[in-house]
Amino acid sequence: MPKQWYNLRADMKEQPDPMINPATMQPATEEDLYPVFCKKLAHQEMDAETRYVDIPEEIQEMYKIYRPSPLCRAYNLEKALGTPAKIYYKFEGNNTSGSHKLNSAIAQAYYAKDQGLTCLTTETGAGQWGTALSEACSYFGLGLTVFMVKVSYEQKPFRKAVMQTFDANVIASPSNTTNVGRQILANDPHTGGSLGCAISEAVEKAVSTENCRYVLGSVLNQVLLHQSIIGLEAKKAMDILGEYPDVVIGCAGGGSNLGGLIAPYMQDKLTGKADPRIVAVEPASCPSFTRGKYAYDFCDTGKITPLAKMYTLGSGFIPSANHAGGLRYHGMSPILSKLYHDGYMDAVSVEQTKVFEAATFFAKHETILPAPESAHAIRAAMDEALRCKETGEEKTILFGLTGTGYFDMTAYTAFLEGKMSDYVPTDEDLQRGFDSLPQVPER
Ligand SMILES: *Cc1c(COP(=O)(O)O)cnc(C)c1O
């Protein structure tokens, strides 16, 4: 297992544009971030120079419980597709959170504990991030309050039960425990809630509680840094096998698993050592890369985080009820956005019925029931392998299998019963989101 994370920014020819403090409209400083992030994480967020960052012993100890994660060759899938391509996947679903999110949750909980904080707050929609953070906080003895979007709270009671098993205080949002929650409930007592609302409640709770901070599970530079462990392990395992991927594929919500998986391969590209094709896969219903704008926007729907330059649909964009909850995010990691903008990677979008076709096909042949998010990467990997079948190319494909789908059986059922639809936003729908972009003076 690697003992250091890799910071992609250290090898980028051009840096992403700086974060902007919305209060001053000036580039944010590390100190500006202290009220939001604990100090070491604020430092990681800003640090574009340190190439390798030591993983603290305590974090390594918890990583060792479930890492290194498996790198598998999908022999049965290859056979079923009749492709000459070799397909490898890096599986991050072998922990209770069922996703890669635990890799950053552990780091964020550790640094909070190290600074003497006693509790954290966060929001969760689909539930993977809330579960991962519950595990990490329980391990390091920190209190955790999770504001869970009310519809999810009611539709996914087992997710809630898992978080409670790890002692998290799970509250359906909007709630009457915060001012903002009470206000929203007064206006609409029967609302099912939203991520934006859950974020606002989590932030209010964090700033009004002593020794408490709010934490985010994707998009941020620090999260990509922590997730680099995925790619570093994958590269090491492939090196041992004498393999090097021609194509590296990952699903993209906020970009954290993709940024982590591709990190060492992007390093090879940036330093001229190799030139693998790198592909981001996003849902057609929430197409940040393929149809978004490269602009300054808020990272959160609650408009409290600093502004970041990224591919975005606008923080006011409300994606349709796609079943891949973890990919329903309006923006994209600023690091990946810059690399995409500069032509270092490609992006494709896929419709959800195609995604579930791939998910069920993969499950039957590889016996892992994938998360709907992960199945986006499976779809693109299968399409690449089928192209190889036509051309006879013996490509090596690597994709990220970010998690398992046991809590997504409502979605699988909808697909199996033929009740799943493919919503694709119109240009007018997207324009409404772009209209919500903040005005940022040219710098
Ligand atoms: C959250 C999540 C994603 C998407 O998040 P990224 O930050 O884009 O990686 C993908 N897969 C699973 C299983 C998730 O839980």
* Residue numbers of the chain with a pLDDT score lower than 50: none
Instruction: State the architecture of 102-216 in CATH terms.
Output: 3-Layer(aba) Sandwich (3.40)
Q: What are the extents of the domains in the chain? A: 63-98+221-434, 102-216
Look at residue 195 in the predicted model and tell me its pLDDT: 79
Look at residue 72 in the predicted model and tell me its pLDDT: 98
Q: Is the CB of 227 under 6 A from ligand 1?
A: no
Residue whose CB lies within 8 A of the most ligand 1 atoms, among 218, 336, 337, for a mutation test: 218
Q: Is the CB of 44 under 6 A from ligand 1?
A: no
Cβ proximity of 392 and 239 under 8 Å: no
Q: Which residues of 64-77 are buried (b: 16+ CB within 10 A; e: fewer)?
A: eebbbbebbebeeb
Work out which ligand 1 atom sits closest to the CA atom of 252: 8
Cβ proximity of 39 and 317 under 8 Å: no
CATH topology agreement for domains 63-98+221-434 and 102-216: yes
Look at residue 318 in the predicted model and tell me its pLDDT: 76
Work out which ligand 1 atom sits closest to the CA atom of 227: 9
State both tokens at 215. 């934490």
Query: Alpha helix (H) ranges present in 115-249?
Result: 128-140, 150-155, 157-165, 179-187, 195-207, 221-240
Look at residue 80 in the predicted model and tell me its pLDDT: 98
Q: Under CATH, what is the fold of the domain 63-98+221-434?
A: Rossmann fold (3.40.50)
3-state secondary structure of 390: helix
Tell me the C-alpha distance between 161 and 303, whole Å: 30
Work out which ligand 1 atom sits closest to the CA atom of 255: 8
3-state secondary structure of 347: strand
**What is the whole-number distance in angstroms between the Cα of residue 271 and the centre of ligand 1?**
28
In order, the DSSP letters of 269-307 are: HHTTS---EEEEEEETTS-HHHH-EEEEEESSTTS-SPE
Q: Is the CB of 327 under 6 A from ligand 1?
A: yes
- In the sheet where 71-73 sits, what is the strand order? 71-73, 86-91, 396-401, 247-251, 277-283, 346-350
Q: pTM score, two decimals?
A: 0.96
- Count CA atoms closer than 13 A to 412's CA, side-chain side: 17
- Nearest C-alpha to atom 14 of ligand 1 is from which residue? 326
Residue with tokens 């462990």, as numbered in its chain: 229
State both tokens at 148. 């869970």
Work out which ligand 1 atom sits closest to the CA atom of 217: 7
Look at residue 35 in the predicted model and tell me its pLDDT: 83
- Largest Cα span, the chain: 63
Look at residue 302 in the predicted model and tell me its pLDDT: 67
**What is the whole-number distance in angstroms between the Cα of residue 373 and the centre of ligand 1?**
6
**What is the whole-number distance in angstroms between the Cα of residue 187 and the centre of ligand 1?**
32
Cβ proximity of 324 and 372 under 8 Å: yes
Look at residue 305 in the predicted model and tell me its pLDDT: 74
Phi, psi of 370, rounded to the nearest 5 degrees: -80, 155
Angle between helices 157-165 and 128-140 (to 10 degrees): 10
Q: Is the CB of 102 under 6 A from ligand 1?
A: no
